[in-house]
Amino acid sequence: MKTLTIVIPEGQNNLSSVVGPYKFFLKANAHYKSLGKEPVFRVQVAGVSASTDLYGGLFSINPHTYISDVKQTDLLIIPAQAHEGLEAIVERNREVVNWVREQYKNGAEVASICTGAFLLAATGLLEGRCCSTHWNAAKKFTEMFPGVNLQTDRLITDEQGIYTNGGAYSFLNLMLYLVEKYYDRPTAIVCAKVFQVDIDRSSQSPFTIFNGQKDHSDDVILRAQAYLENHLDEKVNMDELAVSLSVSRRNFDRRFIKATGNTPVEYQQRVRVEMAKKSLETGRKTVNEVMYETGYADVKAFRDLFRRITGLTPQEYRNKYNKDAAVNSLY
């Protein structure tokens, strides 16, 4: 059984983003048990103090354990923080910041809720990566972490085992997203019905989130995106593409990252993986056939990239989402 740890930083003052994840994953476990399956996660709350008061002492959180006693976890969730005094909150929680960084290095995946992204960004793990947080905290976030590609228009970001989401109760969509990833879609649907959350907002595949990257006004980059999407099975020379668009390679990369949050190469990789996902979900082609039609010839490189973006190997993904493939694998 995996371990999920909800972190309670020093000065935690948001209860919903602690209780919400806790209840979501308990419900997902309960649903699995009702089907005769083993629960996926042991859910625990870990803090830096034995008890934390919230809202002037109206509520209190008494963690199961201290973060210093958690040597390894598989998934950890950083809840939202108070909007006021975020710099001070980060400074007060150096122990949490260091612990999160070490857990990620040891293989844990990390999710931040709303302004919990400030503590996540303080670890340095978001440098050069995409991130979302509450729109009202965007200006402060950019000031504190200029090296992070903040995209507050995105509901969920998912990059190399690091997840963030927008503000307020949109964290419920992130919980559904994680439940679908770690359990399965039927379990996410059950949670969506029980907690009455619109699953259409949370069941976005990485491509759906990625597709939102066209919501910008840079016509040159829109043309580049269209070209990359129409030449998936080709090895595109980015220098030549930049020249064809009448921009220098350096300016091309800079504008591409600013508009989409990804480099041109990363963008092409994500489009290719999405195409591969669709083929694996519905077709009868082998993994190697799908690999070749999406422009890859190196099995290991394709497998590693696919797993980094989806969390599964191509074969695991095919068995999970292609009913015919799953049935055939039993014989």
- 63-118 residue pLDDT tens: 999 999 999 999 999 999 988 899 999 999 999 999 999 999 999 999 999 999 99
- 111-155 residue pLDDT tens: 999 999 999 999 999 999 999 998 888 889 999 999 999 988 788
CA distance 9 to 84: 15
What pTM was estimated for this model as a whole? 0.62
Residue 316 confidence class, pLDDT cut points 50, 70, 90: confident
**What pLDDT is recorded for position 209?**
36
> Which residue ranges form the domains of the chain, and what is each CATH number?
2-203 (3.40.50.880), 205-331 (1.10.10.60)
Q: Is 261 exposed, middle or buried (0-12, 13-18, 19+ CB in 10 A)?
A: buried
- 253-308 residue pLDDT tens: 999 998 888 899 999 998 899 889 888 887 788 899 999 988 888 999 999 999 88
Q: Is residue 8 helix, strand or coil?
A: strand
CA distance 174 to 134: 14
CA distance 144 to 118: 9
Q: Yes or no: say if 125 and 101 are a contact pair by the CB < 8 Å rule.
A: yes
Q: Yes or no: say if 147 and 130 are a contact pair by the CB < 8 Å rule.
A: no
Q: Yes or no: say if 273 and 310 are a contact pair by the CB < 8 Å rule.
A: yes
